[in-house]
């Protein structure tokens, strides 16, 4: 009986220790893209910023930026691996036209070019938070 429990525990740990692969990353990205289409999120050209950029990591292609009263889902032009890094490097410089605005297609976050910006409501944020393939089991990672 102990042997069976040990084998099951080892199998469970092996499955949990599997790091994110491209296949898993693709599922996350596709799930978020499907959410954008299904929720018919309105695209905006810019975000009015109150302070410096603060974002919540969704995956390597998307972050959520809270504004004064709104939330925005930001999609990058390409995969942004720099979002995972806790350490700053010179290629992560943010380029912004103005401090008070974040523009799609021009500005960068951690060196990654912002592709599109979608406005999301608080209920949509909660729905996105618990999206089946979103990382963190319903938790966004807050990254300054």
Show the CA angle centred on residue 40, arms to residues 94 and 50, nearest 5°: 35
H or E element: which one contains 96?
A: none
Long-range contacts formed by 14-22: CB under 8 A, 24+ apart: 20/135
pLDDT in tens, the chain (144 residues): 554 444 454 444 444 433 333 344 445 888 899 999 999 999 999 998 877 778 888 999 999 999 888 999 999 999 999 888 878 777 777 878 888 889 999 899 989 999 999 999 999 998 888 775 445 545 555 555
Residue pair 60/84 in contact (Cβ under 8 Å)? The answer is: yes
Judge if pTM exceeds 0.75: no
- Nearest C-alpha neighbor of 143 from the set 110, 108, 94: 110
């Amino acid at each position: 009986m102990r042997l069976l429990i040990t084998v099951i525990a080892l199998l469970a740990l092996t499955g949990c220790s599997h790091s994110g692969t491209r296949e898993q990353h693709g599922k996350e990205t596709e799930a978020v893209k499907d959410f954008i289409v299904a929720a018919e999120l309105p695209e905006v050209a810019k975000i009015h910023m109150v302070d410096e950029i603060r974002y919540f990591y969704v995956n390597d292609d998307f972050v959520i930026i809270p504004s004064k009263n709104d939330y925005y889902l930001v999609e990058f032009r390409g995969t942004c691996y720099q979002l995972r890094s806790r350490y700053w490097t010179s290629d992560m410089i943010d380029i912004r036209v103005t401090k008070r605005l974040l523009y799609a297609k021009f500005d960068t976050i951690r060196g990654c070019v912002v592709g599109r910006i979608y406005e999301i409501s608080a209920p949509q944020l909660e729905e996105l938070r618990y999206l089946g393939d979103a990382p963190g089991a319903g938790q966004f990672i807050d990254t300054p």
